[in-house]
Structures are given as C-alpha cells and as structure tokens.
Amino acid sequence: MSLVSISRRLAESVEKLAFAPPVACVYNPLVYAKRPHELYLERYGAGTREIVFVGMNPVPWGMAQTGVPFGDVAMVRDWLEIVAPVQKPPTEHPKRPIDGFQCARSEVSGTRLWGWARDRFQTPQRFFERFFVWNYCPLSFMLASGTNHVPEKLPAPERETLFAICDDALRALIEEMNPAWIV
C-alpha cells in the first residue's frame, strides 16, 4: 500500500471522530493541506528506510500550516522544496489562523529537525535515503483559549479510539518502509 493511500485512509478515519470539551477546535491538515502533504509523501516516502522518526501530532505553526511533519514553513519551502496550496480548515480558531506557506511564524522543533538534516546531509535526497519522518496523530487540538491540547490529555474513550486508528496507520507505514529503527 502506498503512503498516500495510508494517509488518505487515516485522514478519512479521523475525520469521522468527534471530540468533547475542553477541545474547542480540531485541525486535520491531511485534509486542508492535502496537496503539500501528498507531495511530501510522493517525493520523499517511496521505498524502505533504515530509520523512521515519529512525531506526536501537528503544532499550530508547523504541520498545521504546511501538511508536512515538523513543517516549519521556511524549511519545507526552501529545503524540502515543497510549496502547494493550503486551504482553510472548516472551523478555524481565531488565535491559530491557517495561512499555509504565507505563515510568518516559525516552528522551533521543525527548524531544529530539518536544520539538522540539512546541515548533516546537505540535500533532502541524501537524508531520505535512510530516514523518513511521520506524525503519529494527524490532528491538532486546541482549547477555547487557542492553547494546544495534546492527544494524551483527551478523555480515555476518545484517546483510545483515536490511537487505535493512528496505530493502524503507523503499522501500515512500518510494513511499507520496513525500518530497522523507529524513533
């Protein structure tokens, strides 16, 4: 199964879920940032990998903007050379606007991760010969205040349902990539 197929199945499955307060807003960049996300998968996700790095879930100024895990806008645009239209999510939190590749904020963990990859491997192609980066959960959760709400803080029934879906997608990705290590 291709990574695009895995991603589309994951996106469709999590779109069916509902989350109760205190969650006020949920973003699914696999849907509204589908094109840059799928460009990332198509360009850098084919074949097996030695190591797969797994992040938890999108943050407001990273993957939530670009559709790419740890998706600091400048790193995705300038180093990974991915730029594509990003739509608005169906419900947008006023304190966490989705501006896509026009977002002026940087995402610290994305700058660090992709900056390390760039400095160590010089080109994305050299990095992706051995490594791949995936987010376990594709959803970004926000409280009414706009504060990030991590999936671990969801009520047990919501969390267990979500994690079962994410487990299935991660298992499919691992079967496809057959890595020696998962970090």
Chain-centre distance for alpha carbon 124: 17
For 106, list phi and psi in degrees, rounded to 5.
Answer: -105, 160
Note the pLDDT of residue 141: 98
pLDDT tens profile 90-115? 999 999 999 999 999 999 999 999 99
Residue 34 to residue 20: CA distance in whole angstroms: 25
pLDDT tens profile 118-136? 999 999 999 999 999 999 9
User: CB burial class (10 A; 0-12, 13-18, 19+) of residue 66?
Assistant: buried
Q: What are the distances in angstroms from CA 48 to CA 34, 113, 129, 133, 174?
A: 23, 21, 9, 13, 9
* Residues contacting residue 180 through CB under 8 Å, at least 6 positions apart: 50, 51
Specify the DSSP element, H or E, that contains 109: helix 108-121
Q: What are the distances in angstroms from CA 85 to CA 31, 103, 104, 130, 169?
A: 12, 12, 16, 28, 25
Specify the DSSP element, H or E, that contains 25: strand 23-27
Q: Distance between the two ends of the chain, CA-based, in angstroms?
A: 22
The residue whose two tokens read 């790095």 is 53
Note the pLDDT of residue 24: 97
Rounded percentage of the chain residues whose pLDDT exceeds 70: 100
Say what the pTM is.
0.96
- Could you tell me the sign of the dihedral formed by the alpha carbons of 39, 43, 46, 48, in that order? negative
